[in-house]
Amino acid sequence: MISDEQKLAAVLAYFEEKESPYQIANRLQMDRQYIRLWIELYRYHGIEGIIRPQGFTNYEDSFKIKVIQHLIETGDSLLQTAAKFNIPSRETIRRWKEQWMSTAGEVLYQVEKERQSMPKKQPASSDLNEKTTEELKAEIEYLRMENAYLKKLKALVQEKDAFKSKKK
């Protein structure tokens, strides 16, 4: 296992000594993708991107969705996305995307089922009057994000189904 100090030294060799990721990887006898990730983490987050607290990080589902949504919308690579969101491994994002894709159909089915069976409930006007402008703006932003997520989810499920039927 490589230490945080060795990671930082590798990143500084890239920036200060103009060593290539390939050269650094050969010297450390490791895959250059790790070097590229450390460089990007440093570029986005400074030393905090390289030196991390020990132990397991538990990410909230909302954060995972935000990361996957960013990945899909921007077309960034797993490495770029990991660096932007300060995630130490691109494999973490790949796993989240895989899990998301495998449950996409199930989630979409549940959403459609709820949409059909539950009548729309209008909020009481007193509820709206009690909320501050900031709370209402935050709720609107959340609902917009949720709507965009569901649209992308539906498109991905359709794309996945089309791919499956094309494969047959």
Look at residue 125 in the predicted model and tell me its pLDDT.
Answer: 52
DSSP string computed for the chain: ---HHHHHHHHHHHHTS---HHHHHHHHTS-HHHHHHHHHHHHHHTHHHHS--SS-----HHHHHHHHHHHHHH---HHHHHHHTT-S-HHHHHHHHHHHHHHHHHHHHHHHHHHHHSPP-PPPHHHHHHS-HHHHHHHHHHHHHHHHHHHHHHHHHHHHHHHHHHH-
Give the pLDDT confidence score for residue 48 in this predicted structure: 86
Note the pLDDT tens digit of each residue in 4-46.
Answer: 888 889 999 999 988 999 999 999 999 988 899 999 989 988 8
Segments of the chain scoring below 70 in pLDDT:
53, 55, 103-129, 160-168
In the numeric block, which tokens belong to residue 93?
């994002």
**Rounded (10°) angle between helices 133-167 and 61-74:** 60
Contact predicate 82/89, CB 8 Å: yes
pLDDT of amino acid 116: 57
Query: Residue 25: its pLDDT value, please?
Result: 92
Q: What is the pLDDT of residue 85?
A: 92
| C-alpha dist (Å) from residue 74 to 28, 100, 142 | 32, 17, 20
pLDDT at residue number 26:
93
Measure the CA–CA gap between 12 and 33, rounded to whole angstroms: 16
Q: Classify burial at 163, counting beta carbons within 10 Å of its beta carbon; exposed 0-12, middle 13-18, buried 19 or more.
A: exposed
